[in-house]
Protein backbone atom coordinates (compact mmCIF):
# COMPACT_ATOMS: atom_id res chain seq x y z
CA UNK A 1 0.00 0.00 0.00
CA UNK A 2 1.35 3.42 -0.97
CA UNK A 3 1.40 6.35 1.43
CA UNK A 4 -1.35 8.03 -0.65
CA UNK A 5 -3.63 5.01 -0.38
CA UNK A 6 -3.04 4.85 3.37
CA UNK A 7 -3.88 8.55 3.74
CA UNK A 8 -7.04 8.09 1.70
CA UNK A 9 -8.12 5.12 3.82
CA UNK A 10 -7.61 7.21 6.94
CA UNK A 11 -9.68 10.08 5.48
CA UNK A 12 -12.43 7.59 4.55
CA UNK A 13 -12.60 6.40 8.16
CA UNK A 14 -12.75 9.96 9.47
CA UNK A 15 -15.46 10.88 6.95
CA UNK A 16 -17.56 7.89 7.99
CA UNK A 17 -17.26 8.99 11.62
CA UNK A 18 -18.25 12.54 10.66
CA UNK A 19 -21.39 11.20 8.93
CA UNK A 20 -22.28 9.13 12.02
CA UNK A 21 -21.84 12.13 14.30
CA UNK A 22 -23.74 14.40 11.91
CA UNK A 23 -26.75 12.09 11.93
CA UNK A 24 -26.56 11.85 15.71
CA UNK A 25 -26.53 15.64 15.93
CA UNK A 26 -29.49 15.91 13.55
CA UNK A 27 -31.48 13.49 15.69
CA UNK A 28 -30.91 15.70 18.73
CA UNK A 29 -31.78 18.74 16.61
CA UNK A 30 -35.14 17.16 15.76
CA UNK A 31 -35.83 16.69 19.46
CA UNK A 32 -35.00 20.36 20.00
CA UNK A 33 -37.46 21.23 17.22
CA UNK A 34 -40.21 19.18 18.85
CA UNK A 35 -39.60 21.03 22.11
CA UNK A 36 -39.73 24.40 20.35
CA UNK A 37 -42.97 23.45 18.63
CA UNK A 38 -44.58 22.53 21.95
CA UNK A 39 -43.37 25.67 23.70
CA UNK A 40 -43.82 28.09 20.78
CA UNK A 41 -40.16 29.09 20.65
CA UNK A 42 -38.58 30.42 17.47
CA UNK A 43 -36.32 28.12 15.45
CA UNK A 44 -33.57 30.71 15.01
CA UNK A 45 -31.77 31.91 18.13
CA UNK A 46 -29.04 34.23 16.74
CA UNK A 47 -27.42 34.91 20.12
CA UNK A 48 -27.11 31.19 20.91
CA UNK A 49 -25.66 30.38 17.46
CA UNK A 50 -23.18 33.25 17.61
CA UNK A 51 -21.98 32.22 21.06
CA UNK A 52 -21.71 28.57 20.00
CA UNK A 53 -19.67 29.35 16.86
CA UNK A 54 -17.36 31.65 18.83
CA UNK A 55 -16.69 28.87 21.36
CA UNK A 56 -16.09 26.20 18.73
CA UNK A 57 -13.75 28.19 16.50
CA UNK A 58 -11.59 29.02 19.54
CA UNK A 59 -11.07 25.30 20.06
CA UNK A 60 -9.39 24.97 16.66
CA UNK A 61 -5.65 25.34 16.20
CA UNK A 62 -4.44 28.10 13.89
CA UNK A 63 -6.28 30.85 12.00
CA UNK A 64 -7.01 28.70 8.96
CA UNK A 65 -8.65 25.90 10.97
CA UNK A 66 -10.47 28.43 13.14
CA UNK A 67 -12.09 29.98 10.08
CA UNK A 68 -12.83 26.52 8.70
CA UNK A 69 -14.58 25.46 11.90
CA UNK A 70 -16.60 28.66 11.85
CA UNK A 71 -17.82 28.01 8.29
CA UNK A 72 -18.39 24.31 8.96
CA UNK A 73 -20.66 24.90 11.93
CA UNK A 74 -22.49 27.74 10.24
CA UNK A 75 -23.48 25.24 7.56
CA UNK A 76 -24.34 22.52 10.08
CA UNK A 77 -26.55 24.93 12.02
CA UNK A 78 -28.19 26.15 8.80
CA UNK A 79 -28.99 22.54 7.82
CA UNK A 80 -30.36 21.93 11.30
CA UNK A 81 -32.67 24.95 10.99
CA UNK A 82 -33.92 23.73 7.62
CA UNK A 83 -34.90 20.39 9.17
CA UNK A 84 -36.66 22.21 12.01
CA UNK A 85 -38.61 24.32 9.48
CA UNK A 86 -39.66 21.09 7.76
CA UNK A 87 -40.94 19.70 11.05
CA UNK A 88 -43.00 22.84 11.62
CA UNK A 89 -44.66 22.33 8.24
CA UNK A 90 -45.20 18.62 8.95
CA UNK A 91 -47.03 19.67 12.13
CA UNK A 92 -49.34 21.86 10.03
CA UNK A 93 -47.82 25.14 11.22
CA UNK A 94 -47.75 27.47 8.21
CA UNK A 95 -46.81 31.10 7.84
CA UNK A 96 -49.61 33.60 7.27
CA UNK A 97 -49.66 34.54 3.58
CA UNK A 98 -53.19 35.97 3.19
CA UNK A 99 -53.37 34.73 -0.41
CA UNK A 100 -56.56 33.27 -1.89
CA UNK A 101 -56.70 30.55 -4.54
CA UNK A 102 -58.96 31.18 -7.55
CA UNK A 103 -59.83 29.09 -10.63
CA UNK A 104 -58.78 31.94 -12.94
CA UNK A 105 -57.96 35.63 -12.75
CA UNK A 106 -61.36 37.41 -12.53
CA UNK A 107 -62.04 39.27 -15.78
CA UNK A 108 -65.75 40.08 -15.57
CA UNK A 109 -66.31 43.84 -15.63
CA UNK A 110 -62.55 44.31 -15.23
CA UNK A 111 -60.85 47.62 -15.92
CA UNK A 112 -57.21 47.49 -17.02
CA UNK A 113 -54.71 50.33 -17.18
CA UNK A 114 -51.52 50.41 -19.23
CA UNK A 115 -48.78 52.97 -19.70
CA UNK A 116 -48.44 54.48 -23.16
CA UNK A 117 -50.97 54.76 -25.96
CA UNK A 118 -52.69 52.35 -28.32
CA UNK A 119 -50.08 50.65 -30.42
CA UNK A 120 -47.60 50.38 -27.54
CA UNK A 121 -46.22 46.97 -26.58
CA UNK A 122 -48.01 47.30 -23.23
CA UNK A 123 -51.27 47.60 -25.16
CA UNK A 124 -50.41 44.45 -27.14
CA UNK A 125 -49.55 42.57 -23.93
CA UNK A 126 -52.86 43.65 -22.38
CA UNK A 127 -54.86 42.47 -25.39
CA UNK A 128 -53.05 39.16 -25.54
CA UNK A 129 -53.55 38.44 -21.84
CA UNK A 130 -57.08 39.80 -21.29
CA UNK A 131 -58.65 39.65 -24.73
CA UNK A 132 -61.01 42.36 -25.93
CA UNK A 133 -63.93 42.03 -23.51
CA UNK A 134 -62.56 44.47 -20.92
CA UNK A 135 -62.55 48.18 -20.24
CA UNK A 136 -59.10 49.72 -20.62
CA UNK A 137 -57.39 53.07 -20.62
CA UNK A 138 -53.86 54.42 -20.78
CA UNK A 139 -51.78 56.72 -18.60
CA UNK A 140 -48.48 58.53 -19.04
CA UNK A 141 -46.44 56.87 -16.30
CA UNK A 142 -46.07 53.51 -14.59
CA UNK A 143 -46.48 55.23 -11.24
CA UNK A 144 -49.90 56.52 -12.26
CA UNK A 145 -50.90 53.00 -13.27
CA UNK A 146 -49.86 51.70 -9.84
CA UNK A 147 -51.73 54.54 -8.13
CA UNK A 148 -54.91 53.78 -10.07
CA UNK A 149 -54.89 50.12 -9.08
CA UNK A 150 -54.07 50.99 -5.48
CA UNK A 151 -57.04 53.37 -5.25
CA UNK A 152 -59.46 51.13 -7.11
CA UNK A 153 -59.79 53.10 -10.34
CA UNK A 154 -58.47 50.04 -12.23
CA UNK A 155 -58.53 46.36 -11.32
CA UNK A 156 -55.26 45.50 -13.04
CA UNK A 157 -52.18 47.19 -14.48
CA UNK A 158 -49.93 45.81 -17.22
CA UNK A 159 -46.26 46.63 -16.59
CA UNK A 160 -43.05 45.71 -18.47
CA UNK A 161 -40.59 44.13 -16.05
CA UNK A 162 -37.75 42.80 -18.21
CA UNK A 163 -36.51 42.57 -21.76
CA UNK A 164 -34.41 39.76 -23.19
CA UNK A 165 -31.98 42.27 -24.73
CA UNK A 166 -31.86 45.31 -22.43
CA UNK A 167 -32.50 43.52 -19.12
CA UNK A 168 -34.73 44.57 -16.24
CA UNK A 169 -36.95 47.63 -16.10
CA UNK A 170 -35.53 48.89 -12.80
CA UNK A 171 -38.30 51.41 -12.15
CA UNK A 172 -40.90 48.63 -12.04
CA UNK A 173 -38.99 46.75 -9.35
CA UNK A 174 -38.80 49.92 -7.28
CA UNK A 175 -42.53 50.57 -7.72
CA UNK A 176 -43.34 47.02 -6.61
CA UNK A 177 -41.66 47.90 -3.33
CA UNK A 178 -43.45 51.20 -2.95
CA UNK A 179 -46.97 49.91 -3.64
CA UNK A 180 -48.48 46.85 -1.99
CA UNK A 181 -49.80 45.24 -5.16
CA UNK A 182 -49.53 41.61 -6.21
CA UNK A 183 -48.40 39.93 -9.41
CA UNK A 184 -51.26 37.71 -10.63
CA UNK A 185 -50.02 36.89 -14.13
CA UNK A 186 -47.45 37.50 -16.83
CA UNK A 187 -47.38 37.89 -20.59
CA UNK A 188 -44.39 37.67 -22.92
CA UNK A 189 -44.52 39.72 -26.11
CA UNK A 190 -42.08 39.38 -28.98
CA UNK A 191 -40.65 42.82 -29.67
CA UNK A 192 -40.17 43.60 -33.36
CA UNK A 193 -38.84 47.15 -33.57
CA UNK A 194 -38.85 49.06 -36.84
CA UNK A 195 -37.72 52.57 -37.73
CA UNK A 196 -40.73 54.74 -38.62
CA UNK A 197 -40.82 58.07 -40.45
CA UNK A 198 -43.18 60.33 -42.34
CA UNK A 199 -44.57 58.91 -45.61
CA UNK A 200 -42.31 61.18 -47.68
CA UNK A 201 -39.17 60.56 -45.58
CA UNK A 202 -36.08 58.60 -46.57
CA UNK A 203 -33.21 57.36 -44.37
CA UNK A 204 -30.98 60.18 -45.61
CA UNK A 205 -33.47 62.73 -44.24
CA UNK A 206 -33.28 61.51 -40.63
CA UNK A 207 -31.51 63.65 -38.03
CA UNK A 208 -33.24 62.59 -34.81
CA UNK A 209 -34.64 59.27 -33.54
CA UNK A 210 -37.00 59.13 -30.58
CA UNK A 211 -38.28 56.21 -28.52
CA UNK A 212 -38.42 54.76 -25.04
CA UNK A 213 -34.94 54.34 -23.44
CA UNK A 214 -35.33 50.54 -23.47
CA UNK A 215 -36.06 50.51 -27.20
CA UNK A 216 -33.10 52.81 -27.90
CA UNK A 217 -30.88 50.41 -25.92
CA UNK A 218 -32.24 47.34 -27.70
CA UNK A 219 -31.43 48.96 -31.07
CA UNK A 220 -28.11 50.38 -29.89
CA UNK A 221 -25.95 48.65 -32.49
CA UNK A 222 -28.11 49.89 -35.34
CA UNK A 223 -28.04 53.44 -33.99
CA UNK A 224 -24.25 53.29 -33.58
CA UNK A 225 -24.03 52.79 -37.33
CA UNK A 226 -25.68 56.21 -37.73
CA UNK A 227 -23.58 58.43 -35.43
CA UNK A 228 -25.04 61.62 -36.88
CA UNK A 229 -28.52 60.88 -35.54
CA UNK A 230 -29.55 62.46 -32.26
CA UNK A 231 -31.40 60.23 -29.81
CA UNK A 232 -34.38 61.52 -27.84
CA UNK A 233 -35.95 59.56 -25.00
CA UNK A 234 -39.75 59.33 -24.85
CA UNK A 235 -42.20 57.82 -22.36
CA UNK A 236 -43.08 54.92 -24.68
CA UNK A 237 -42.53 53.57 -28.18
CA UNK A 238 -46.03 54.20 -29.57
CA UNK A 239 -45.96 57.71 -28.12
CA UNK A 240 -42.79 58.41 -30.09
CA UNK A 241 -44.53 57.31 -33.29
CA UNK A 242 -47.44 59.59 -32.44
CA UNK A 243 -45.03 62.48 -31.87
CA UNK A 244 -43.41 61.99 -35.30
CA UNK A 245 -46.87 62.06 -36.88
CA UNK A 246 -47.93 65.18 -34.97
CA UNK A 247 -44.70 67.08 -35.67
CA UNK A 248 -44.96 66.26 -39.38
CA UNK A 249 -41.19 66.57 -39.68
CA UNK A 250 -39.47 64.18 -42.07
CA UNK A 251 -36.14 64.61 -40.28
CA UNK A 252 -37.59 62.78 -37.27
CA UNK A 253 -38.01 59.05 -36.90
CA UNK A 254 -39.34 56.75 -34.18
CA UNK A 255 -38.43 53.26 -33.03
CA UNK A 256 -41.71 51.45 -32.42
CA UNK A 257 -43.82 48.50 -33.55
CA UNK A 258 -45.26 47.89 -36.98
CA UNK A 259 -48.73 48.26 -35.45
CA UNK A 260 -47.84 51.74 -34.20
CA UNK A 261 -46.69 52.65 -37.70
CA UNK A 262 -49.99 51.48 -39.19
CA UNK A 263 -51.98 53.26 -36.48
CA UNK A 264 -50.31 56.62 -37.14
CA UNK A 265 -49.83 56.30 -40.89
CA UNK A 266 -46.02 56.20 -40.82
CA UNK A 267 -43.59 54.63 -43.25
CA UNK A 268 -41.20 51.83 -42.32
CA UNK A 269 -37.72 53.13 -43.08
CA UNK A 270 -35.78 50.15 -41.71
CA UNK A 271 -36.57 46.67 -40.39
CA UNK A 272 -34.67 44.15 -38.23
CA UNK A 273 -32.96 46.95 -36.31
CA UNK A 274 -32.67 45.07 -33.01
CA UNK A 275 -29.49 42.98 -32.89
CA UNK A 276 -31.27 40.26 -30.88
CA UNK A 277 -33.58 38.39 -33.23
CA UNK A 278 -35.30 36.79 -30.22
CA UNK A 279 -36.02 40.13 -28.56
CA UNK A 280 -38.99 39.83 -26.19
CA UNK A 281 -40.43 41.70 -23.22
CA UNK A 282 -42.04 40.12 -20.18
CA UNK A 283 -44.99 42.02 -18.73
CA UNK A 284 -46.52 41.41 -15.31
CA UNK A 285 -50.18 41.84 -14.42
CA UNK A 286 -50.62 43.43 -10.98
CA UNK A 287 -53.70 43.57 -8.80
CA UNK A 288 -54.69 44.92 -5.41
CA UNK A 289 -56.00 41.48 -4.45
CA UNK A 290 -53.58 38.77 -3.22
CA UNK A 291 -54.85 35.93 -5.39
CA UNK A 292 -53.27 33.09 -7.33
CA UNK A 293 -54.70 30.59 -9.78
CA UNK A 294 -54.82 26.92 -8.82
CA UNK A 295 -52.28 25.95 -11.50
CA UNK A 296 -49.79 28.71 -10.62
CA UNK A 297 -46.17 27.56 -10.96
CA UNK A 298 -43.99 30.63 -10.35
CA UNK A 299 -43.44 32.61 -7.15
CA UNK A 300 -41.88 36.07 -6.95
CA UNK A 301 -40.48 37.36 -3.67
CA UNK A 302 -38.20 40.07 -2.41
CA UNK A 303 -36.11 40.18 0.75
CA UNK A 304 -33.63 42.39 2.56
CA UNK A 305 -30.68 40.90 4.40
CA UNK A 306 -28.47 41.65 7.37
CA UNK A 307 -25.34 43.32 5.98
CA UNK A 308 -23.13 40.35 6.88
CA UNK A 309 -20.92 37.83 5.10
CA UNK A 310 -22.73 34.81 3.71
CA UNK A 311 -26.30 35.99 4.25
CA UNK A 312 -27.30 35.87 0.56
CA UNK A 313 -25.96 32.33 0.28
CA UNK A 314 -27.95 31.34 3.36
CA UNK A 315 -31.19 32.78 1.92
CA UNK A 316 -30.80 31.09 -1.45
CA UNK A 317 -29.89 27.79 0.19
CA UNK A 318 -33.47 27.54 1.48
CA UNK A 319 -34.68 27.44 -2.12
CA UNK A 320 -32.01 24.97 -3.22
CA UNK A 321 -32.31 22.69 -0.19
CA UNK A 322 -36.07 22.27 -0.75
CA UNK A 323 -35.61 21.19 -4.35
CA UNK A 324 -37.04 24.38 -5.89
CA UNK A 325 -35.71 25.84 -9.12
CA UNK A 326 -34.65 29.48 -8.89
CA UNK A 327 -35.27 31.08 -12.30
CA UNK A 328 -34.25 34.67 -11.64
CA UNK A 329 -32.47 36.95 -9.17
CA UNK A 330 -32.09 40.73 -9.31
CA UNK A 331 -30.87 43.32 -6.84
CA UNK A 332 -31.85 46.94 -6.24
CA UNK A 333 -30.27 49.48 -3.84
CA UNK A 334 -32.10 50.10 -0.57
CA UNK A 335 -32.88 53.84 -0.35
CA UNK A 336 -31.02 55.52 2.49
CA UNK A 337 -28.62 52.59 3.00
CA UNK A 338 -25.44 52.97 1.00
CA UNK A 339 -24.20 49.75 -0.62
CA UNK A 340 -27.03 47.67 0.82
CA UNK A 341 -29.43 45.88 -1.49
CA UNK A 342 -32.78 44.15 -1.60
CA UNK A 343 -33.09 41.04 -3.73
CA UNK A 344 -35.86 39.91 -6.04
CA UNK A 345 -36.10 36.19 -6.68
CA UNK A 346 -38.36 34.06 -8.87
CA UNK A 347 -38.61 30.33 -8.30
CA UNK A 348 -40.92 27.50 -9.29
CA UNK A 349 -43.68 26.31 -7.00
CA UNK A 350 -47.08 27.09 -5.52
CA UNK A 351 -48.04 28.54 -2.16
CA UNK A 352 -49.17 25.84 0.25
CA UNK A 353 -46.78 23.20 -1.08
CA UNK A 354 -44.56 21.91 1.72
CA UNK A 355 -41.29 22.63 -0.11
CA UNK A 356 -42.38 26.21 -0.83
CA UNK A 357 -43.58 26.80 2.73
CA UNK A 358 -40.32 25.39 4.12
CA UNK A 359 -38.27 27.73 1.94
CA UNK A 360 -40.38 30.80 2.71
CA UNK A 361 -40.36 30.04 6.42
CA UNK A 362 -36.57 29.83 6.45
CA UNK A 363 -36.08 33.04 4.49
CA UNK A 364 -38.67 34.87 6.57
CA UNK A 365 -36.97 33.85 9.82
CA UNK A 366 -33.49 34.90 8.73
CA UNK A 367 -34.08 37.95 6.51
CA UNK A 368 -34.76 41.46 7.76
CA UNK A 369 -37.75 41.72 5.44
CA UNK A 370 -39.58 39.21 3.24
CA UNK A 371 -42.57 39.86 0.99
CA UNK A 372 -44.28 37.51 -1.42
CA UNK A 373 -44.99 39.57 -4.54
CA UNK A 374 -47.13 36.96 -6.22
CA UNK A 375 -47.78 33.38 -7.30
CA UNK A 376 -48.81 33.02 -10.93
Q: Which residues pair with 167 in a beta bridge?
A: 163
251 noted as active-site residue: no
37 backbone dihedrals φ, ψ, rounded to 5°: -65, -45
Write the burial class of residue 305 (CB in 10 Å: 0-12 exposed, 13-18 middle, 19+ buried): buried
As a dihedral over the C-alpha atoms of residue 8, residue 14, residue 15, residue 20, rounded to 10 degrees, the angle is 150
Which residue in 89, 165, 237, 281 is the catalytic one? 281
Do residues 343 and 336 make contact, with C-beta atoms less than 8 angstroms apart?
Answer: no
Q: What does the alpha-carbon distance between residue 341 and residue 82 come to, in Å, rounded to a whole number?
A: 24
- Three-class DSSP category at 367: coil
Do residues 84 and 44 make contact, with C-beta atoms less than 8 angstroms apart?
Answer: no
Sign for the pseudo-dihedral over CA of 184, 189, 193, 199: negative
- Three-class DSSP category at 251: coil
CA 259 from chain centre, in angstroms, equals 29
Q: Which residues pair with 372 in a beta bridge?
A: 301
Nearest residue to 281 via CA among 116, 148, 152:
116
C-alpha distances (whole Å) from 38 to each of 31, 42, 204 are 11, 11, 79
Residues in the chain: 376
Which residue in 114, 130, 237, 283 is the catalytic one? 283
Q: What does the alpha-carbon distance between residue 370 and residue 302 come to, in Å, rounded to a whole number?
A: 6
Sign for the pseudo-dihedral over CA of 230, 235, 240, 241: positive
Q: What does the alpha-carbon distance between residue 9 and residue 90 come to, in Å, rounded to a whole number?
A: 40
114 noted as active-site residue: no
Residues annotated as catalytic are 281, 283
Amino acid sequence: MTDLERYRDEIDEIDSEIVRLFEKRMKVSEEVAEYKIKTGKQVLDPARESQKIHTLKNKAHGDFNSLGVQELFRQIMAISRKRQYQLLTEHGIYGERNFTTVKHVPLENATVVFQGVEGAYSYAAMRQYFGKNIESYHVKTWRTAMEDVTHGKADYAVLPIENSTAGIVADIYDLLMEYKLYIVGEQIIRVDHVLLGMPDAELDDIKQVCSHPQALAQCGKYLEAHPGWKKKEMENTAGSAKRVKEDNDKTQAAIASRQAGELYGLKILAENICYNGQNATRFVIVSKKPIYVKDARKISIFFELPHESGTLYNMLSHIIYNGLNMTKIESRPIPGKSWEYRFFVDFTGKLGESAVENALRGIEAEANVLRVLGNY
